[in-house]
Every structure is written in C-alpha cells, then in structure tokens.
Amino acid sequence: MTQSRMFVDLTLEDSESEDKIMTKPPRLFSANLAHREFSSAIPLKRKSDRDSDSSSASPFNEFTSVLQPNNGNLNNVQATFKVKRRSEPYTPSPAPESGSGTDLSVVVPSPSAQLKREMDTAEYIPDAELIALSQKFYPTDVLEIRASRGAYPAVRSVKRETYPFKIGNPGPFLTERESKPVIQTLCESLKRKLDTIKGPRVTVAPGDEKRLAHSTSSFEFINKYKLRDGVAPIQQEFLAGCSCDVICDPARCGCLTLEENSTECIIPYKTSKEDARFWGLSPEFMQRTSMIYECNALCGCNERCWNRVITQGRKVKLEIFYTGTRGFGLRSPDFIRAGQFLDLYLGEVITTAHADEREKAAAARNAPSYLFSLDFFHNDDNIYIVDGCNFGAATRFINHSCNPNCKMFTVSRNHGDERLYDLAFFAVKDIKPGVELTFDYNPHMERVDKVAPGAVPCLCGEPNCRGQLWANKKKRSERF
C-alpha cells in the first residue's frame, strides 16, 4: 500500500505578525489537494536554484518549500520542506505513529513570552459582534458625552413669590460711605496734601477748611519744579562750584558775582544783629534786582554754608486763610525778620508755546493766571514759564499789594543754566505774626485816577493803591 504523507506547515505563520496569529487559523494542506492537479504553468525550481537561493537567504529566516509532482499522480506527491533554523529555540512536534494511512509531520514553534501573555488574557468575541465597531472600545458618542459634561446646568423653575425679598444690614464700608459727605472727603484729602509739604507745617485757618478743600480739589502741593515736555536742564558737565573749604569766604567765593566795574563780590546775605545764626538778605541787596548765586552740591563748602539759604529750605510756618473779596491769602503765625527767606514759587515748568495754549484755555473760562516767566537773562520765545495753577507751593496764595511786605528774587544754584532757576520770596520788612504776606504783581504799573474799562482793578486797599493791576483783562499776555 502506497503510503501518502501530508505536511502541515505551521512555521509559515510564524513569520507573520503576532496579531495575525491570534486572529487567523493555520492553513492546512488537506486531503482535497489529492484530487487537484498541479498546473504546468508553475515553474519548477531546480536544485541549483535552490542552492543559489540558500546563499541569499532572508535575514528573517523564511521557509523554502519545493514540490515535486510525479506525472500528475498526487498519491506520490513528495513535499519536501527545507527549514532554516531560527536563532531562538523551538519545539518540534512528535513523530506520527507508524501504520496510519497518512503520516502528518507538524512543526510548532514555541510562542514568545509576550505572545503567551496576550493569549492568556485574550477574550473570545463571537463573529456576530465583529459586524460593526463595538461601542465599548470605539464609542461613537464620545463628543456628545464631553459636551454634556461641560454644558451649563439645566434651568430650574423657581417660584419667586415663595421666596421673601430681604435686605440685610449693610457692611461698614457702605455705611461709612453713605454717612460721609463729599466735602468731608475733600477735607481729608486736603490734609493729606498739606502733610506732604517739607519744612514747618502749612495749615489752614479754622473755618476755612471746607472752602479751601473745594477750591483745591484739583490742586497738588509739590516740593520742587515739575519739568514738562520741551524743558531740559543743562547737562552736568557744564555745571561748576566754588573751591572754598567748609565755609565760603565772602571775599573770594567763586559762586559770587562781581560788582560792575569793580573787583568786589556782591554778597547777598548777612547775619542779624539779634541772632548771629540767622542769615538773610542785606538791606542793600533788597534794593537791587540782581540774581542771587548760591553754592551748590559741586562746591567745596558744606551744607551749613552761609551762602545756602535757599538750599536749607523754609524756616517759618505758613497758614492759608480766606480774605473775602480777594480770595485766599497767606500769612504766618511766626515773627518774620526783614530779609528772611519765606518759600519758593513752584509749579510746572513749560515752554512758551504750551503757556500760550493754557492762557487761551484760562481766558475762555475766565480763570485766574498763575504764570511766571523765567526771563531774567533772555526774553524770547525760548524762555521757560512756571505755571502754578495745578501744581505748586503755598506761595501760590500770596495776594497782590501796592505796599507789599515781600519781594520775589531770582536765585541760581546751577550757575551754568540761564533758562532754569528758582523764584524765591523774601520779606522786605519785619512782619508780625498773623499779618498777610503780599508782593507786587506788576511793579511797573503806574497809578491811575480812574480805572479804564476792561482793566483788572486792584483790591489791595492801601493808601498808595494804583487802582488797577493791568490795563486789560488779558493779564496773562504780560505775565509776571
């Protein structure tokens, strides 16, 4: 009896991926092959071809099989499988028992450790569930679920009439704001502004706080100039100081200027007979219109130098009070000596072009002017203007008088800068406590018997009153 043998090649599946092993059954060369004839169109591999193929074997250890048909007699089919051994170990199947009708030789490779784990944890899914995607592993409503999680909660129907409308007790913040008038807030703001002024205290006369707080609601007290656009001080390289030691020598201090056609220095300050520690303007200098040149930080003297009166600051107390027809005024509760420094006139330093614009705006609303020109050395369109309307010192409230007790002097502490210097008020006579401080707004104005129509009248009430301050209401064009 001719014994036919059938081989099952399980090693062909080993070259495929592990996923295919899990999902595809092994292919068998079943007995149906015995009733099928081989096509003569399939070329036969010769031994020399097989030998040459073995030399160029794939690095993946593929299996090569050769079928040798015998004149179409499939009973004598001899299938020879030439197996290339893998580098990893494998387990062959046991040999078939002798005497059986068909000998079956099976080569089963050992599965890898990863494949064993996947086989142990694999779950069988019936073919009926593979018709479409499983909602468990491929949910199609995932976007709807995410949208429902982020959506606003559903509106609840509430019967408002069942809930009583109650108003609780307001907190201290609301209670305080409701009970505090606006004028009280302005008075507190004024007090904070006055506290920022350096030197002895600047106060307000009792009973005038509300009126002054309302008038200065948009005004700020400052301690030095505010330089605006277009105003630039001279560079530090062009500044200089004297070479005196500790205390300047009036006979040779380099900061002082010389008398005209003389080698003597102009000394602006002198001591008082009552107090040697007091330094003020000399009676001779108060008759001048000269610039005061003080020592600065570049000088060799110290801060206690006699030529640093302005630098040492204000020494007297000031009080702002309401005068009635002349608005607010300024006075001091201290006794003031003749020649004593009072305070600086401060404000915004602006250009001439900006000053013209502010003049027009002030004239349109019939507002007062607080402009002072820094034109001691130059009188052209390039001079700077000090505007004390919105920013300034307490000297902003000094009123005019045709018989003044104060006078404004120009003081230079940066000797190389002729366009930027200080405006300082000095007492020209002894002033008793509580007497109003005044200076002459327009000393060049002549006395008139009758005030001209459209002129700015003078309200000082002095015996020598000139009757008017300016010949027309546009006093801003003439500036102080």
Report the CATH number at residue 229. Answer: 2.170.270.10
Beta-bridge mates of residue 78 = 68
Residue 421 designated active-site: no
- 216 within domain boundaries: yes
- 213 within domain boundaries: yes
Residue 89 shares a structural domain with residue 207: no
| Residue 63 pLDDT | 42
Residue 228 shares a structural domain with residue 333: yes
Total domains, the chain: 2
Residue 319 shares a structural domain with residue 219: yes
Residue 112 shares a structural domain with residue 216: no
Domain finish residue from 64, 94, 118? 118
- 468 within domain boundaries: no
Q: How far apart are CA 216 and CA 224, in angstroms?
A: 18
Residue 306 shares a structural domain with residue 416: yes
Strands 399-400 and 406-412, bridge-based pairing: unpaired
- 176 within domain boundaries: no
| Residue 24 pLDDT | 46
- 243 within domain boundaries: no
Angstrom distances, CA of residue 90 to CA of 93, 107, 108, 412: 10, 9, 8, 107
Active-site hit among 269, 293, 345, 384: 345
- 31 within domain boundaries: yes
Q: How far apart are CA 475 and CA 480, in angstroms?
A: 9
Domain finish residue from 103, 118, 133? 118
Which range marks the domain in which residue 60 is found? 4-118
Residue 382 shares a structural domain with residue 298: yes
In tens digits, the chain (480 residues) has pLDDT values of 444 455 444 444 444 444 444 444 444 444 444 444 444 444 444 444 444 444 444 444 444 444 444 444 444 444 444 444 444 454 555 555 555 555 556 666 788 888 888 888 877 666 545 555 667 777 788 888 877 777 666 667 777 777 676 666 666 655 555 567 889 999 999 999 999 999 999 999 999 999 999 999 999 999 999 999 999 998 888 888 898 888 898 888 989 988 887 788 899 999 888 887 889 999 999 998 889 999 998 999 988 899 999 999 999 999 999 998 889 999 999 999 999 999 999 999 999 999 999 988 888 888 888 999 999 988 888 899 999 999 999 999 999 999 999 999 999 998 888 899 999 999 999 999 999 999 998 888 888 878 777 788 888 888 989 888 877 654 443 444
- 207 within domain boundaries: yes
Q: How far apart are CA 274 and CA 272, in angstroms?
A: 5
- 209 within domain boundaries: yes
| Residue 110 pLDDT | 81
Residue 76 shares a structural domain with residue 209: no
Residue 293 designated active-site: no
Residue 201 shares a structural domain with residue 340: yes
Residue 108 shares a structural domain with residue 192: no
Domain finish residue from 118, 151, 174? 118
Residue 318 shares a structural domain with residue 222: yes
Residue 109 shares a structural domain with residue 199: no
Residue 358 shares a structural domain with residue 218: yes
In this prediction the pTM is 0.62
